[in-house]
């Protein structure tokens, strides 16, 4: 049975799997919801309750930190991309995770995010104005590159202090680094992904040096000056790692989820019509978009001690892969899960994770997505797809490589 399940996992990277992984997830949920995978070298979960339980139990199931990799992934330190990711907050366990998250969380409180709303709305207006101009004569325009990435880059770039002239460069390297989180990443990509990680780190090292010499009104300068007590300061390495995770995670998954969501809305025109007729539905539409086809499809944990999952014994240090994309279509949690419905009111899925590692920037991402969907419905009620849609070749971070739209 596990051999068939592993075949299903491999099929996620095929053109059919990239276009629609959800029938594959359904088969796993129904036939092998908890199984030991040779492909991923660990246990794989696809039901909502199992996935949520693992993410919630941060003492038993810990992220794959440097210590775990030293024991189980010999040679991993020879891969700069993995070294870079493992130094970041999402790949750390307490007490390091507790300290670094505490130092950052004040910048992402509900109040702080609300203060950013005018800037987010200005950024959305700018990119949508460009889209309106480009499509005025009925021409189809590639929406991901024209709107989604420029919006995400503008929001997080302004916050962190990255000049607009550098956005395209950083989009290229973060897209490559994102391939690292795919447990089945092709070996031939290794050198390119590692080179991107070296470039990414070097860029923010230089930005820190510039802000230390000439502080500005941005988060980089604020982190360099920050203290939580008279003696506890953020080290320069902690500032660097914070910027890497905030910038890399601050637009990539949001842009991916927006692309997937807009595709869903436009392939369900009655749902887009509801949104266009009532922009107040935008916040709820965001939750449905994140449930229906989010960007972050899977995450990894390792058992800190022996555990039992669905009657199966998991040994200490064994890896557990949480298929969040499958969990978010689980009929045991979301009635009629394959129905896309922007008026659905069934609670939140696992897109932003759960427990200790709940995404720090979730509120900002929700704000950005809500503003854009609200404005799309208001400004472009006849928006439609015109041309070939292309998915990115990464089943772990779903998103659009090309989404041609007109109005």
Does residue 228 have a pLDDT over 60? no
Contact of 50 with 310, CB cutoff 8 Å: yes
pLDDT for 388: 96
Average pLDDT for residues 260-272, to the nearest whole number?
98
Top pLDDT among 234 and 193 is at 193
Alpha helices for 278-331 (secondary structure H): 282-293, 324-327
Average pLDDT for residues 262-272, to the nearest whole number?
98
pLDDT for 380: 97
pLDDT for 224: 87
* Calpha distance 253→259 (Å, rounded): 10
Q: How many helices (H) and strands (E) does the chain have?
A: 18, 12
Does the model's pTM come out above 0.95?
A: no
Compute the mean pLDDT over every residue in the chain, rounded to the nearest whole number.
92
* Calpha distance 366→350 (Å, rounded): 14
* Calpha distance 372→126 (Å, rounded): 11
188 burial level (CB within 10 Å; 0-12, 13-18, 19+):
exposed
User: pLDDT over 90 for what percent of the chain?
Assistant: 78
* Calpha distance 153→175 (Å, rounded): 13
Contact of 93 with 63, CB cutoff 8 Å: yes
Contact of 155 with 117, CB cutoff 8 Å: no
Phi and psi at residue 406, to the nearest 5°: -140, 180
pLDDT for 246: 85
The pLDDT tens digits of the residues spanning 339-360 come to 999 999 888 999 999 999 999 8
The residues spanned by each domain of the chain are 2-406
Q: Classify domain 2-406 at the CATH topology level.
A: Cytochrome p450 (1.10.630)
pLDDT for 180: 82
Does residue 175 have a pLDDT over 80? yes
User: Which pLDDT band, with edges at 50, 70 and 90, does 235 fall under?
Assistant: confident
Task: Please list the residues that pair with 320 across neighbouring strands.
Answer: 43, 301
Does residue 1 have a pLDDT over 70? no
- Which long-range contacts link 335-343 to residues 24+ away (Cβ below 8 Å)? 338/22, 340/264, 340/268, 340/271, 340/288, 340/292, 341/271, 341/288, 342/265, 342/271, 342/274, 342/275, 342/281, 342/284, 342/285, 342/288, 343/274, 343/281, 343/284
Phi and psi at residue 178, to the nearest 5°: -60, -25
Of 251, 396, 248, give the one whose Cα is nearest residue 322. 396
72 burial level (CB within 10 Å; 0-12, 13-18, 19+):
middle
pLDDT for 227: 56
């Amino acid at each position: 049975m596990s051999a068939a399940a592993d075949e299903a996992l491999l099929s996620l990277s095929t053109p059919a799997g990239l276009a629609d992984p959800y029938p594959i997830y359904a088969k796993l949920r129904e036939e092998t919801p908890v199984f030991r995978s040779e492909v991923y070298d660990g246990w794989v979960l696809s039901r909502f309750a199992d996935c949520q339980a693992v993410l919630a139990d941060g003492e038993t199931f810990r992220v794959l930190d440097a210590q775990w990799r030293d024991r189980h992934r010999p040679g991993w330190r020879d891969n700069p991309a993995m070294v870079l990711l493992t130094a970041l907050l999402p790949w750390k366990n307490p007490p390091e995770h507790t300290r670094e998250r505490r130092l950052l969380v004040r910048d992402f409180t509900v109040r702080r995010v609300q203060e950013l709303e005018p800037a987010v709305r200005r950024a959305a207006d700018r990119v949508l104005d460009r889209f309106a101009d480009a499509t005025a004569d009925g021409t189809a325009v590639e929406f991901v590159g024209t709107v989604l990435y420029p919006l995400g880059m503008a929001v997080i770039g302004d916050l962190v202090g990255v000049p607009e002239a550098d956005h395209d460069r950083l989009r290229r390297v973060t897209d490559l680094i994102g391939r690292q989180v795919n447990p089945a990443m092709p070996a031939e990509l290794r050198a390119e992904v590692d080179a991107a990680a070296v470039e990414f780190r070097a860029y923010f090292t230089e930005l820190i040096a510039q802000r230390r010499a000439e502080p500005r009104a941005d988060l980089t300068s604020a982190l360099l000056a920050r203290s939580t007590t008279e003696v506890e300061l953020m080290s320069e390495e902690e500032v660097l790692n914070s910027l890497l995770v905030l910038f890399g995670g601050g637009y990539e998954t949001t842009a991916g989820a927006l692309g997937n969501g807009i595709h869903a809305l436009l392939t369900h025109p009655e749902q887009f019509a509801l949104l266009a007729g009532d922009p107040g539905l935008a916040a709820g539409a965001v939750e449905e978009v994140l449930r229906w086809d989010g960007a972050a499809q899977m995450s990894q944990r390792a058992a800190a001690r022996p555990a039992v999952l669905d009657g199966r014994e998991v040994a200490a240090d064994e890896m557990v892969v949480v298929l969040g994309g499958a969990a978010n279509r689980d009929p045991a949690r979301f009635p009629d899960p394959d129905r896309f419905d922007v008026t659905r009111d069934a609670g939140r899925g696992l897109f932003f994770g759960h427990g200790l590692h709940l995404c720090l920037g979730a509120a900002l991402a929700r704000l950005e997505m809500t503003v854009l969907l609200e404005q799309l419905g208001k400004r472009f009620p006849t928006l439609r797809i015109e041309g070939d849609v292309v998915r990115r070749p990464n089943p772990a971070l779903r998103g659009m490589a090309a989404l041609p739209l007109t109005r």
